[in-house]
Structure 1
């Protein structure tokens, strides 16, 4: 059985996986949902990009986890991907859930659709943090009103330095056994960076007919998908 380390995206903590964890534990996997510095119950703890990478690696090493399946959602694909390149034979598989992936020397902000300067302006206008979305921004993502309300209530501002510091890869991502989960309501195809990585023999693509937050919109289905990918 695998040790499944779960890292949610921007604004979220370990609580985001509460409805996914039972399905994984029911089939015998150990689950380790993480809250990264600056988020949820750890709000206010200073954090940069490498802080998050080291927290993921450090928790895996502290617990002496083996056969690790490292799951990153949305933003957290960037620190998860970096951490995966540093785990050596502890790593069994990486799973990106509708996630960004790290590019050596670039940051989350580097790929912002309006340009890095526009994103940094948002951070500057919000005390250096990325403010959580309001309820309207979750429209069209397959969420019920109750699920949206839970997301909005639990979300906390995201520390800006984690989004502007560059990624550092210890080895190419294409060498790692990887599953990319594309959530179709958030766009039918992966971005160009992911598409290029999917040409690797070590990567595979699976799709979910839901939006960007499947741990809320389809938690049981996501748990089953993860269990299937673990094998």
Structure 2
């Protein structure tokens, strides 16, 4: 299997540093990806479809087959769209406590009450969503050292990726998918995710940790991903 790992808002490929060795140790290909405009790709102008294309380009560049696409948080939106577009190259898609795309809807569409706040922050910060600060990570199962790692590694997130609509050509429920719900960030999936979980192609796994499990519980997350690879290969 070939894992393509995409972290959420403000983060780069570095967020997967403790997950990658666990997957490679048993022989899988692993491709942690930084999306345009973030981390080591700061300065690259990006909208949401840019991020979808980043994922497609990574798969095409390495001619990947038997792909397990993994999207965390915001990145579930471009990952879900990319998963539809790679056809029989896709083995499985894993959404890690993430948003999921809906045709014609954006990241902020799912935040009826928070949308004005996010859009105002983007406007005030030259088109970028500013990263969280250390107090925002309280109660998410992270040590002080882990919080510092996330805060110091985070970069402003391109605002257009949050406000542009997703483009889907078929129901997301048709994809072979796993949704990982991190319980410290809420006991139940959002209603849009719950509706998708009614599909026989989707299943739910819960983790007793916060919204950043690749940092708080990397080995446990890797174990779930490895189990997914095993089941997908059958």
TM-score normalised by L of structure 2: 0.97
Give, in whole Å, the separation in 2 of the partners of 1:104 and 1:116. 18
> Alpha-carbon deviation of 1:170?
2.4
Residue number in structure 1 paired with 2:191: 192
Give, in whole Å, the separation in 1 of the partners of 2:112 and 2:72. 18
Residue number in structure 2 paired with 1:208: 207
> Alpha-carbon deviation of 1:126?
1.2
SS of residue paired to 1:5:
strand
Structure 1, residues 61-105: CA drift from partner, whole Å, max 9, x if none? 121100000000000000000000101000000000000000100
Residue number in structure 2 paired with 1:133: 132
Q: How does 1:115-194 map to 2 (within 5 A)?
A: 115-194=114-193
- Report if the CA contact (8 A) 1:112-1:119 is conserved: no
SS of residue paired to 1:85:
helix
TM-score normalised by L of structure 1: 0.98
> Alpha-carbon deviation of 1:118?
2.8
Question: Are 1:10 and 2:6 matched, yes or no?
Answer: no
Give, in whole Å, the separation in 2 of the partners of 1:229 and 1:113. 33
Give, in whole Å, the separation in 2 of the partners of 1:115 and 1:8. 21
Aligned-residue CA RMSD (Å): 0.8
Give, in whole Å, the separation in 2 of the partners of 1:113 and 1:191. 13
Residue number in structure 1 paired with 2:109: 110
Residue number in structure 1 paired with 2:88: 89
Structure 1, residues 137-174: CA drift from partner, whole Å, max 9, x if none? 00000000000000000000000000000000122110
Single out whichever of 210-219 and 106-115 deviates more from structure 2. 106-115
Structure 1: unaligned runs, 5 residues or longer: none
The number of residue pairs the alignment matches comes to 230
Residue number in structure 1 paired with 2:97: 98
Give, in whole Å, the separation in 1 of the partners of 2:165 and 2:182. 26
Give, in whole Å, the separation in 2 of the partners of 1:44 and 1:108. 21
Q: How does 1:23-38 map to 2 (within 5 A)?
A: 23-38=22-37
Structure 2: unaligned runs, 5 residues or longer: none
